[in-house]
Amino acid sequence: MRPIGSVHEIPPGEGRTFAVDGQMIAVFRLRDGSLRATQAVCPHKGGPLADGQIDLKQVLCPLHLNAWDLTTGCSLSGQPDLAVYPVHLDHDTILLGDPT
Ligand code: FES
């Protein structure tokens, strides 16, 4: 796993986009304090998933409101699934693994 930034860059209940090895990764900080990481570019028409609304289970793309499960990446609205990444916290540092 590699460090990609500080958890303090992400307000609770929101997501932020990180550039990692030329890939755009959306990291979400859930309101329970846990993190999720997915590809940042929406597979529907390229919307910025990190700007989408999240709850403890899903993200809604801000452009057309398609929904994905934040843990599995599975589409909940008939779109292609998202790549998801293992993500952990080491104190305040976000550690990202390879996609599952
Ligand atoms: S671009 Fe994301 S739902 Fe359309």
CATH of the domain at 76: 2.102.10.10
Of ligand 1's listed atoms, the one at least distance from the Cα of 42 is 2
Strands (E) across 23-83 are located at 23-29, 35-39, 53-54, 58-60, 67-69
Of ligand 1's listed atoms, the one at least distance from the Cα of 61 is 2
Range of the domain at 46: 2-96
Residue minimizing CA distance to atom 3 of ligand 1: 64
DSSP annotation of 48 reads B
Contact 26, 17 (CB under 8 A): yes
Per the structure, how many domains does the chain have?
Answer: 1
Residues with CB under 6 A from ligand 1: 42, 44-47, 61, 63-64, 66
Ligand 1 centroid to 22 CA: how many Å? 22
Condensed to tens digits (0 to 9), the pLDDT of residues 44-92 reads 999 999 999 999 999 999 999 999 999 999 999 999 999 999 999 999 9
pTM above 0.85? yes
Condensed to tens digits (0 to 9), the pLDDT of residues 16-42 reads 999 999 999 999 999 999 999 999 999
